[in-house]
Amino acid sequence: RTRVDGNVANSVVTVFGNGHINGSVGGNVVTIFGNLRLGPKAIVQGQTVSLFGSYERNPSAVVQGGTVRLMSGIFHFTDALQGWGEHCLLFGRLLAPRLDVLWAWGVALGLLAIYLLVAALFRDGLRHCVRTLEEHPGPSILTALAMVLLTPILMLVLMVALTVTVVGIIFVPLLWIGLLCAGIFGRV
């Protein structure tokens, strides 16, 4: 979170946090994935930029440059995303033992439930995958790496080929669903 009540000679940039300006800023004010609020004593000599957050400007605030708002107010989950960025992403972890990232725990537990369900439904296929990985670890890992690198290219080529043949347009969503299912099965 960034709060300016005095004078700043340069720009002010806030990422995954809220910006509150009630003083003089010599450059631009940029807030990404956070809310930007200009108080009554705010004087910004550059532009104000709000990306993926709300923008609130007091009528007596002075902005000498322009105002840029991109996707402002569309995402109402920026507070939750800020908490995740502040307590998880900056520490290099996906989850943290905090209440403000409870939604991330819900996503993780939901995915775990899906993985357990797939493992229970496709027990024989899972055993075969594990046996293949145990018997041939090198080729299995190289194949997985090649698929990670080649899948975006192959998907693009297949989507273009299916879209060019107008009849194939109906198969593009099925292609994405199949890739999603294969990815879920591969992670189990």
The pTM of this model reads: 0.56
Q: Using one digit for the tens of pLDDT, what is the confidence trace for 85-144?
A: 778 888 888 898 988 888 899 999 999 999 899 889 988 988 988 898 899 999 988 988
Q: Characterize 141-169 residue by residue with b for buried, 16 or more Cβ atoms within 10 angstroms of its Cβ, and e for exposed.
A: eeeeeeeeeeeeeeeeeebeebeeeeeee
**Would you say 63 and 44 are in contact if contact means Cβ atoms under 8 Å apart?**
yes
Residue in 71, 28, 35 with CA at minimum distance from that of residue 54? 35
Tell me the pLDDT tens digit for each residue of 17-52. Answer: 888 888 888 888 998 888 888 888 888 888 888 888
Looking up tokens 């099965």 gives: 185
With CA atoms as reference, report the closest residue to 188 among 131, 123, 95: 123
Whose tokens are 């002010």? That residue is 12
DSSP for 140-158 reads: HHHHHHHHHHHHHHHHHHH
